[in-house]
Structure 1
Amino acid sequence: MQQLSIGYARVSTAENRQELGLELQIRALESQHCQLIFSDQLSGSDDERPEFNHAVKLAKRKAAAGWQVKFMVYKLDRLSRRTVKMITTIDDLTQHQVQVVSLREQLDMSTPTGILQYQILATFSEYELNTIRQRTRDALAELRQHGQTLGRPRLSTDVEQKICKLYCILDYPVNDIAKVCGVSVSTVYNVAKRNHLSRRKLTLTNR
């Protein structure tokens, strides 16, 4: 069976000036005989990491073709700063028969110890997610208790009437209606739908 070890390194601008620079990560990955190493200089909370996405796609493609593939990082947080996203990434790669390895934490998903470490991480991830949800529910409950309205503020009657009047003029563009009334284009369409309006052609004398 053909084997492939793919390494991924990531730093933010601040990290690259500190101990966890790209050079350190790449040297560590090279010492583990990674044949291909991808790197990004972006935040770990940024989902748009082009080299990371390329590395993941390549790993999945090779695994699907029957290769034994390892996806290596220096530290687990190189996958993502967010625990939930990190776990999702490990899950995704594992389901595609890609072995995830972290050098710093000595995590190797091809071993029983690695699987146990992952399960502990997943438990903390679930706890973190549930904590965020509970905080959100508590915050919403407190807002309701103080009589505060959730979501976008309701349109005033005057603004809604103005939208209705302009919407009925066929040659008045919806984008212009939105600008004049200080609302979004989707709000204009929502008002029109709510009031069962159709556009009819009138002559516009004053704009």
Structure 2
Amino acid sequence: MNSTIYGYVRVSTKEQCEERQLIALQDFSVPPNNIFMDKLSGKDFNRPQYQKLLKKLKAQDLLVVKSIDRLGRNYEEILEQWRFITKEKKADIVVLDMPLLNTRQPGRDLTGTFIADLVLQILSYVAQTERENIKQRQREGIAAAKNRGVRFGRPRKEVPLEFDLLCSEWKKKNISSREAAQKLGISQDTFLRWVHGK
């Protein structure tokens, strides 16, 4: 069966550095016509070119990417795409930045795929652990700062002296909460929060 080499490039609109990825794919002899590229905003992860590429990809074809994070936003997604391409599509993957992530090793049915899968699982575990460690360090840092008396969020506004008088007028229905807030130079929400906090 004839196999085809494809390349995939993904850049965010902020990055704009597709040239580096394109050069790496061309150096690997990926035909320019077989390179699919998506340019995405940070929020939008709809990848039309990637979906088009997946439709073309068939058994024994080869997908080349510069780095593993081109396949997904996080390791769960990367693992899912890896499994889909190698197990369901039965295509190969080469990650140029990580030579161990290459399912075309000799004896691909066993050794090559097994080693690449293992490396990917380890990377996934390390990334997940690192994310959890960062969150834990953040939680510990916040707790330590709070113990030192550091306050987070915007500083609370001081309640002006006229507040009690205006609050009393508001309770007597002589003025509306909006009017009271305007006189104090605060939002209506803040006025009502102060009222209910008293």
Instruction: Give the TM-score range, shorter chain.
Output: 0.5 to 0.7
Superposition pairs of residues 141-160 of structure 1, within 5 angstroms = 141-158=143-160
Distance 1:53 1:29, change over 3 A: farther
Say if 2:89 is the partner of 1:89. Answer: no
Alignment correspondent of 1:139: 141
Alignment correspondent of 2:8: 7
The aligned length equals 165
User: Structure 1 regions of 5+ residues with no counterpart?
Assistant: 197-207
Instruction: Give the Cα separation in 2 of the matches to 1:6 and 1:28.
Output: 11
TM-score when normalising by structure 2: 0.56
Say if 2:105 is the partner of 1:75. Answer: no
Distance 1:7 1:25, change over 3 A: same
Instruction: Give the Cα separation in 2 of the matches to 1:23 and 1:104.
Output: 13
Of the two, which has the highest radius of gyration? 2
Alignment correspondent of 1:168: 178
Superposition pairs of residues 11-26 of structure 1, within 5 angstroms = 12=15, 21-26=20-25
Alignment correspondent of 1:47: 42
Instruction: Give the Cα separation in 2 of the matches to 1:101 and 1:56.
Output: 16
Once the two structures are superposed, residues 93-121 of structure 1 have per-residue CA deviations (whole angstroms, 9 ceiling, x without a partner) of: 246x2345413313146811111010110
Instruction: Give the Cα separation in 1 of the matches to 2:77 and 2:176.
Output: 49
Percent of residue pairs identical:
17
User: Structure 2 regions of 5+ residues with no counterpart?
Assistant: 87-92, 104-111
The root-mean-square deviation of aligned C-alpha atoms, in Å, is 4.7
Alignment correspondent of 1:204: none
Instruction: Give the Cα separation in 1 of the matches to 2:48 and 2:66.
Output: 18
Distance 1:34 1:77, change over 3 A: farther
TM-score when normalising by structure 1: 0.54
Could you tell me whether the CA contact under 8 Å between 1:70 and 1:101 is conserved in 2?
yes
Could you tell me whether the CA contact under 8 Å between 2:64 and 2:96 is conserved in 1?
yes
Q: CA deviation at 1:25?
A: 2.2
Distance 1:72 1:191, change over 3 A: farther
Instruction: Give the Cα separation in 1 of the matches to 2:143 and 2:70.
Output: 36
After TM superposition, the runs of 4+ consecutive aligned structure 1 residues lying more than 4 A away are 9-13, 66-71, 77-80, 164-167, 188-196
User: 2:128 is aligned with what amino acid?
Assistant: E
Q: Which residue of the other structure, out of 71, 76, 85, is the alignment partner of 1:98?
A: 85
